[in-house]
Amino acid sequence: MSRKIALLVGVSEYGEGIENLKAPLNDVAAMKRVLENPNLGNFEVTTLKNPNLVTMQLEIIKLFKRAKKDDLVLFYFSGHGITDDNYELYLPTKSTGKEDFEAMSVAGSFLKKQAENYYVKRKIIILDACYSGSINNEWRSKNISIDLKQFLGKEGLAVLTSSSATQVSFEQEGATLSLYTQYLVEGIETGAATQNDDNIIYIRELHDYAKKKVQEVKPNIKPDILIDKEGYEIIISRAPRNPEADYRKLVEKYHREGEITTIDLLILTPKLQQLGLTETQAKKIEQEVTEPFRRRRENLKQYRQVLENEVKQKYPLDAYITNRLQEYQQDILGLRDEDVEPIKKEIFAPFLSQPQPKETPKKMTPIETPKKVITPPPKPNHQPSLKTFPFQYATLKKLPGTEEVETNYYDAEAQFFTEDLGNGVTLDMVYIPGGTFKMGSPEGQGHDSEYPQHSVTLKPFFMAKYPITQAQWEQVVKLSKIERDLKSNCATFKGDKRPVESISWLDAVEFCQRLSQATGKPYQLPSEAQWEYACRAGTTTPFYFGEIITPDVVNYDGEYSYNGSPKGVYRRETTEVGSLPPNPFGLYDIHGNVWEWCADDWHENYKNAPSDGSAWLVENFSQVKLKMLRGGSWCHTPGRCRSNYRGRRDLGYDSYGIGMRIVLVRI
């Protein structure tokens, strides 16, 4: 006979540098109550409260090891979540501190490995994890929305994440449970999560219910789920069938944004009498159903009060206050820009109708100065003539019913010119024809930041044939300084023909400025649109070579699979540029090897994005925090190497996985 086995872990206490939480132990108790209830979940439940590393790892191993093939295994975690520079997820224990989190936490890869190691067919992983925002500012900007596809193992796996933004979004003021867990418990305990009259709750139904409720309170929080094959059919609980549950469904149907109108009551009252419920019972259910909307309205009220107070003190708002308001809106209150826009318009309206006093211009520091490529007067050089080079690009196709991949090569050629950097070092710039393409991901694919998919039309431009190499970097470092010093010999993996890495966005811009001044050509970082257009090279698949990926054509972490791709070598370092096949435009290493900086500022999606291929920038450079990265790297999973995957980092951040490639819009 099959069993249902659950391990529930709550971590509320942490080591030095990580702030304690209040909700996790309450979360575990609430989940235990509903899961072990024989009339609901009917699980055999083990709980861990503030475990150390060894205990937590041993219990995870035991959870999967003792399960038989037809059992259902559930792992639940409530607490902080941390991602490192390579986006590896860590679940901290009570011993985890700021400086030792990698050594004292359970790595997501460990959890994944245990889930894959044994033959149990049905597995559920629920991570109600907030960001470790209290550790430092850089981690605050990282997203706990992990690449769920990394967790795919054998059939019948469901992975749920709360995607909470900060501790405050995780722990609700005046509430004992974290937001996501509160509605998981409610969905099971009341039966509200079931979408049919079959008296059972599937895991997808439970997540959909909790996500809907979370976003009724805080629309900016985006819980996520990944279900593989039989995961859709995993039953987590029975659904109570009683008059209270039936009346709850009616209230869910008839209320309007948390308001029960007179006409709603005219419909609900007779049904209430038919179900035999008292007015007191009905009122309690109505209060519970509409509670998320009241909390959301309270959040909007708090935002209005804070904004009004700031405007009274000073208008227009300076950059510091604007940034703090944005953080308060998104991270604390969980509100989207469109939620607060009517409030801002109303409060700003009296000021916008009056002439504003002019501020005395101040001298801006270099960091506040918008980074623009310096274009000096043209030097007396000749227009470069274009040459042609032949190449072969590859396409990949998985043979049906096998693990084999069919690789086909096609002859092509491209035009280019060569920039002489001196000392025998050259830079090849490939001609990219203009055109129109669909940027981003279609609905149902990719991440939220890749929507909406939209048309972009670009004029022709030139792009570097390879990522900038260490030899090219060293030549440009010798040129006259424009705004900042550049480090010589900065790469971690040495080699003249290897890509330069461990450079920040600011370093990359300085490189472009020095090269522009020396050559009289306006070299710059590509816009996101230019990069994706050049990467796709006329294709619409996740990679220019098709739906799958292998280490034979890209340098990435080959120990991970994508869309059924076979696993392969993980090189654990950069490779010389041009070692692997180019794309149909003749660009090498456009997927993997090193991330490539783009000119754009980070925007959380493509709403109102430019359609002409230009870089999407904010008006005031002093407000810029995050800049765009594209292409993935040698140490990242294949999903991050997709043509449409969007990475971002602080403009001063550098890492051994980050390099650059440049473009030229005219010569």
- Give residues with Cβ within 8 angstroms of 208, minimum separation 6: 193, 195
The mean pLDDT of 591-610, rounded to a whole number, is 95
Residue 200 is assigned to a structural domain of this protein: yes
Tokens representing 15 are 């080591």
Residue tagged 């409610």 (tokens):
186
**628 within 8 A of 615, measured Cβ to Cβ:** no
Quick check: is 202 in a domain?
Answer: yes
User: Is residue 257 within 8 Å of residue 217, measured between CB atoms?
Assistant: no
pLDDT score of 149 more than 60: no
- End residue of a domain, out of 190, 210, 241: 241
SS3 call for 455: strand
Structurally, the chain folds into a number of domains equal to: 3
Strongest mean pLDDT among 81-85, 318-322, 442-446:
442-446
pLDDT value of residue 383: 57
The residues facing 107 across adjacent strands are: 90
Query: Within this chain, do residues 208 and 92 fall inside the same structural domain, yes or no?
Result: yes
The pLDDT of residue 506: 94
Both tokens of 167, joined, read 């501790």
Angstrom distance (rounded) from CA 69 to CA 133: 40
Report the alpha-carbon distance of residue 208 to residue 225 in Å, rounded. Answer: 9
Answer with the one of 217, 241, 265 that is the final residue of a domain.
Answer: 241
> Which pLDDT score, from 0 to 100, does residue 160 have?
78
Measured between its terminal Cα atoms, the distance across the chain in Å is 74
Q: What is the DSSP secondary-structure string of 201-237? A: EEHHHHHHHHHHHHHHH-TT---EEEEEGGGGG-EEE
Distance of CA 416 to the CA centre of its chain: 36
CATH of the domain at 47: 3.40.50.1460
Q: Answer yes or no: is 576 within a domain.
A: yes
DSSP string, 4-64: EEEEEEE-----TTS---SHHHHHHHHHHHHHS-TTTT--EEEEEES--HHHHHHHHHHHH
Q: What is the mean pLDDT of residues 542-568?
A: 92
Q: Report the range of poorest mean pLDDT among 269-283, 330-344, 346-360, 370-384.
A: 370-384
Q: Which of 655, 645, 654, 416 is nearest to 532 (CA)?
A: 645
Residue 395 lies in a domain: no
The pLDDT, as a whole number, for residue 366 is 38
Residue type, 301: K
One domain for residues 193 and 207: yes
Mean of pLDDT values over 33-52: 95
Same domain, yes or no, for 332 and 414?
no
**pLDDT beyond 50 at 371:** no
Instruction: Tell me whether residue 231 is in a domain.
Output: yes
Q: Given the DSSP bridges, would you call strands 72-83 and 89-92 parallel, antiparallel or unpaired?
A: antiparallel
Asked whether 657 and 493 are in contact (CB, 8 A), the reply is no
DSSP output for 593-659: SSEEEEEEEP-SS-TT--SSS-----S-GGG--EEEEES--TTS-GGGGSTT--EEEETT---TTEE
418 and 567 housed in the same domain: yes
- DSSP of 114-154: HHHHS--SEEEEEEEEEE-TTT-HHHHT------GGGG--S
* 610 contacts 529 by C-beta, under 8 angstroms: yes
Q: What is the pLDDT of residues 157-187, one digit of tens each?
A: 777 778 644 444 566 666 788 889 999 999 9
To the nearest 10 degrees (0 to 180), the angle between helices 262-275 and 243-254 is: 170
What confidence tier does 623 reach under pLDDT thresholds 50, 70, 90? Answer: confident
Does 359 map to a domain?
Answer: no
String of b and e for 178-198 (b: at least 16 CB within 10 Å)?
bbbbbbbbbbbbbbbbbeeee
Domain at 513, CATH number? 3.90.1580.10
Nearest Cα residue to 210 out of 233, 167, 177: 177
Give the pLDDT mean for 304-318. 86
- Write down the pLDDT at residue 85: 55
Instruction: Tell me which of 57-71, 139-153, 182-196, 251-265 is least confident.
Output: 139-153
In this predicted structure, which of 1-15, 33-47, 170-184, 493-507 has the lowest mean pLDDT? 170-184
Say whether 434 sits in a helix, a strand or coil.
coil
Question: Is the pTM of the predicted complex or chain greater than 0.85?
Answer: no
Strand order through the sheet with 626-630 = 647-650, 626-630, 595-601, 658-659
Question: Where is 339: in which H helix or E strand?
Answer: helix 337-352
What digits encode the pLDDT tens for the residues 218-275?
Answer: 888 878 877 665 555 788 998 877 777 777 777 777 777 777 777 877 777 887 777 7
pLDDT of 609 reads 95
State the pLDDT at residue 171: 62
Query: Mean pLDDT, to the nearest integer, of 191-204?
Result: 83
Give residue 592's pLDDT. 96
Looking at residue 173, its pLDDT comes to 62
**Range in 204-208, 325-329, 481-485 with the lowest mean pLDDT:** 325-329
Residues 234 and 322 in one domain: no
Both 343 and 445 in one domain: the answer is no
Of the candidates 511, 536, 514, 538, the one whose C-alpha atom is nearest the C-alpha of residue 525 is 511
Are both 457 and 499 inside the same structural domain? yes
Q: Distance (Å, rounded) from C-alpha 138 to C-alpha 269?
A: 54
pLDDT one-digit tens code per residue, 436-491: 999 999 887 888 889 999 999 999 999 999 999 999 999 999 999 999 999 999 99
| Residue 250 shares a structural domain with residue 185 | no
- b (16+ CB within 10 A) / e for 82-112: bbeeebbbbbbbbbbbbeebeebbbebebbb
- Burial call 578-608: b when 16+ CB within 10 Å, e when fewer: eebbbbbbbbbbbbbbbbbbbbbbbbeebee
Determine the 3-state secondary structure of 422 from DSSP. Answer: strand
What is the structure's pLDDT at 375? Answer: 34
Query: Which range of residues forms the domain containing residue 523?
Result: 404-664
Closest Cα to residue 421, out of 487, 478, 459?
478
Query: How far is the C-alpha of 459 from the C-alpha of 436, rounded, in Å?
Result: 9
The residue out of 336, 352, 368 marking a domain boundary is 352
Same domain? 216 vs 301? no
Residues 82 and 201 both lie in one domain: yes
Residue 363 resides in a domain = no
Do residues 225 and 282 both lie within one domain?
no
CA angle 35, 40, 44 (to 5 degrees): 40
Query: How many residues are listed for the chain in this entry?
Result: 667
User: Do 192 and 280 sit in the same domain of this protein?
Assistant: no
Domain-located, residue 287: yes
Q: Are 601 and 626 in contact (CB under 8 A)?
A: yes
Helix 319-327 × helix 279-313 angle, to 10°? 170
